[in-house]
Structure 1
């Protein structure tokens, strides 16, 4: 039953629907005001977002810029829900009609929701590079040699692959396969296969929680494939959302509800290059298959903020080199703080010492003192970075060299960019990008280790192109920025960060 729905969908030629643009006329209204319907035009683009233009104005219209939870309606024969909307104002053309415009942050195709109803029990996703990552195929093709003939015909055999399932605390994760077969033996046959993940939950789940689980799988694949991985299709289902016939009668089959939202870095399937095994950091089997993904889903939640900051450097279409560097530095510090902690002295002893300082400090300066010393007991950034680099050294030593020297350099650059005066960065964008890649590489290993990927599997990637391609650039960048910081008229703190062992 799992694969049946998806096979039917693909047989209908839905491969071309992956994040396709929408430009459709329809009728729309605010939930609860069914008698106040307006016709209009709905447009969706992965890069431009979701925009609705209506003929006329809602009687219960929001003011310009005012948020509006939802707008529902029909486009063709499909129900739609525009969620997290806001008004972009109304315009009157003379002579002519009033046009009201809205922008939405996300859209659900297949059902009309009330905000309180955004709960589902399963999600099916198709991801960029998933087929290459799992490296499994039901298609077998080869040339045959016929004795006495110069012709070498092809023989193609297709055996549908079986689904695999693995449980986790909130449900189960399935790797499934669907396929598309069309054409005919006269004009030609087209056969394609599509792997997908399906998460089935034990109970109804809030959409935002489902989206976080999907995002964790997306992040893991990005770390492993070593390229930004986008979600091509995002299909939701719930037991109480049923497929309706044209007569309005509900069937027993669950209705597919497709979720779409604009993406920061859209890479259409037609423009993607194939990712080969040797271009990836880890394959599906090397992370432990479904079991490894489940471990990642459950354990990475703990350091979600650090992971999001790290992933921002991969999924953003454009980002200043300074921002990229600061994002990965924040990710490293936050990850170590969350997963390792670290303090100079026991917390009770530090609190007692801080209270003594507060007692002898004039009341008007006590707030300042607490701000300055509140985190004084925490590990310093160089120490956190060095400990992370030591954990990852079996893979990243060729990139970072001496871990202590590298950690002090990264910390010094971070301080220079955030704490010191001046409007321009003293470092080149190329050097900052190289240093960012070194921090990213260390964090990738540490996060994968934290979620149960064996050390020996990661260590085997030490010489791979994915793990070592930027070593020379990184080493050169470290030397240049150290020289720049030593020669600049920085603070004593800068000199300490660069020169201390």
Structure 2
């Protein structure tokens, strides 16, 4: 999303008579801020001990109509000369119209573009031909032809929702010194049942995560547009068109986004090779089910600064959460484990006493859950044979990454880790790849597609590091 500042007139939906002059500013990384000259007195006290009062504010600005949702006062100043100024944080800013006062933030459809979507899907590529009197001699050029084929809509239905890949295009230039064709691919999700905005934003985040995982670069939304069937604008006598609302919200990935498109050589899984729109549509359900997994996993891509120990803890938590959600969370049937625990506790109570038996019962409550090593081992099997390219012998890798997690968590001074710079970082990346492959399998990607990682320069470099680190730690973690 692009930053902007727009001047205009602002008023509370609850008090349309009090209109103040001011400006609204949007920063893609920090969000939206409203500054007005004067004060919306009906918002109540600014006492820091009281919770902020959220308000909906209308605006007519140089960029059109805005509805500012979830506004709360950040501060008020009274300057010499009688100039009053109040500043508000704005949770969400919608351009394109004013909501009714009782309007619920629920919508029928959303479209979203991403900065790395074009190099990932590679639709509508532009071609040009140069005519010249002599081959390869541009000094004798007689004509230049540009060809652009508008990509067709690709759609797939998943449950009651329809996900489609579309493209907007435009031309520009003065036709004398410059002419250009621009295209912007985007995903559109049409819901079978109207969705609350917070759930829609989770879907936007989910699609963002898929692009990030596939292109191996942090991805940010470039535009988010919302529709509702009961929101229309009259454009003539008897004619109406749907109102398209553009949503402005902050995104943490803006802090780390690339300044240009990811190069083809660095993209891990091109759109078509992982199944195109069908896989992207299935991913919608995967991202909903594994939201906590993605939340932990993608911190290493979206966070500007994290200690490597925090990165490691996050990806390990993501791996464990994925296993808990996807695989059996018990070693033997629950009834058998419960019966066995009761027998052991009963025997201890008779032999030692009630106090010890109660302690033992509490200690055994989670004894039937798989240990971390078991979980990681099952995930490596699910990811498929191509993960060996990254990890080397998986049993040794599992032993090391789980052992390091335990040492970092429990801080056993008697068993210090002989860490070299970068060790934990590269092991973090290897766990990231494991969870990524498992998540892609969840939306139906053929494991044979994962053979692509063998040709990735980044994966080859990671593999060399991990295959040096793991044997070294395996010796030090024995016992």
Note whether the superposition's TM-score is higher than 0.5.
Answer: yes
Q: Which of 209, 214, 221 is the matching residue for 1:224?
A: 214
Give the direction of change, closer, same or farther, for the CA distance of 1:112–1:136 in structure 2 (3 Å limit).
same
The superposition leaves residues 82-122 of structure 1 with CA deviations (integer Å, 9 ceiling, x where unpaired) of: 33333323232244233322212322222334575211111
Assess if the C-alpha contact under 8 Å between 2:29 and 2:251 holds in 1: yes
C-alpha contact 2:256 2:304 (8 A) present in aligned 1: no
**Alpha carbons of 1:197 and 1:348: their partners in 2 closer, same or farther (altered >3 Å)?**
same
Using the alignment, how far apart are the partners of 1:21 and 1:426 within structure 2?
46
Residue 109 of structure 1 corresponds to: 95
Map of 2:106 onto structure 1? 119
Specify every segment of 5 or more residues in structure 1 that has no aligned partner in the other structure, as ranges. Answer: 1-18, 487-497
- Residues 115 and 350 of structure 1: CA distance in aligned 2, closer, same or farther (over 3 Å): farther
The equivalent of 1:38 in structure 2 is 20
Query: Does structure 2 retain, via aligned residues, the 8 Å contact 1:237–1:256?
Result: yes
On the 8 A contact 2:21/2:37 being kept in 1, the answer is yes
Q: Please give the per-residue CA displacement for 1:343-372, whole angstroms capped at 9, x wherever unaligned.
A: 222111222344556774988889866664
Q: Which moved more, 1:453-462 or 1:92-101?
A: 92-101
1:151 to 115, 140, 148: 140
Residue 84 of structure 2 corresponds to: 98
CA apart distance, 1:232: 0.6
Q: Does 2:280 correspond to 1:293?
A: yes
Segment of structure 1 superposing worse, 277-286 or 86-95: 86-95
TM-score, structure 1 as length reference: 0.84
Output the CA distance in 2 between the equivalents of 1:428 and 1:110.
54
Q: 1:278 to 1:481 in 2, by over 3 A?
A: same
| Paired position in structure 1 for 2:55 | 70
**Separation in structure 2 between the aligned mates of residue 374 and residue 53 of structure 1, nearest angstrom:** 56
**What secondary structure, in the 3-state scheme, does the structure 2 residue paired with 1:397 have?**
helix
Counterpart of 1:459?
A: 451
My pick for the range that moved more, 445-454 or 395-404, is: 395-404
Q: Residues 53 and 131 from structure 1, CA distance in 2 versus in 1: closer, same or farther, beyond 3 angstroms?
A: same
Structure 2 contact 57–71 (Cα < 8 Å) conserved: no
Match of 2:71 among 61, 82, 85: 85
- 1:404 match: 395
Q: CA deviation at 1:460?
A: 4.3
Stretch of structure 1 that moved more, 434-443 or 395-404: 395-404
Q: State the match for 1:305 in structure 2.
A: 292
Corresponding residue SS for 2:16: coil
Residue 35 of structure 2 corresponds to residue 53 of structure 1: yes
Contact 1:281-1:466 within 8 A present in 2 as well:
no
Say if 1:36 and 1:59, in contact at 8 Å, map to a contact too.
no
| Match in the other structure for 1:475 | 467
* SS of structure 2 residue aligned to 1:329: helix
CA RMSD, aligned part only? 3.0
Q: Is the alpha carbon distance of 1:233 and 1:369 closer, same or farther for their aligned partners in structure 2, counting shifts above 3 Å?
A: farther
> Paired residue for 1:189?
179
Deviation larger for 177-186 or 461-470: 461-470
Q: Which residue of 2 aligns with 1:436?
A: 428
Q: Does 1:262 align with 2:254?
A: no
Match of 1:345 in 2: 332
* 1:420 matched residue in structure 2: 411
**How many residues are treated as equivalent by the alignment?**
465
Listed as ranges, the matches of 1:267-416 within 5 Å are 272-355=259-342, 360=349, 372-416=363-407
Residue 403 (structure 1) shift? 1.1
Any idea what SS the aligned residue of 1:462 has?
A: helix
- State the SS of the aligned residue for 2:453: coil
Deviation of 1:244 (Å): 5.4
Q: CA contact under 8 A between 1:343 and 1:377: conserved in structure 2? A: yes
How far off its partner does 1:133 sit? 1.1
Larger displacement relative to structure 2 (474-483 or 345-354): 474-483
User: Which structure 2 residue ranges, 5 or more long, are not aligned?
Assistant: none
Deviates more, 1:328-337 or 1:112-121: 112-121
Any idea what SS the aligned residue of 2:180 has? strand
Structure 2: distance between partners of 1:87 and 1:426? 51
Aligned counterpart for 1:236 among listed residues 205, 226, 239: 226
Shift of 1:330: 0.3
- Assess if the C-alpha contact under 8 Å between 2:32 and 2:248 holds in 1: no
Instruction: Name the SS for the 1:387 alignment partner.
Output: helix
CA change 1:147–1:90 in 2 (3 A) is: closer
The alignment status of 1:252 with 2:240, answered yes or no, reads yes
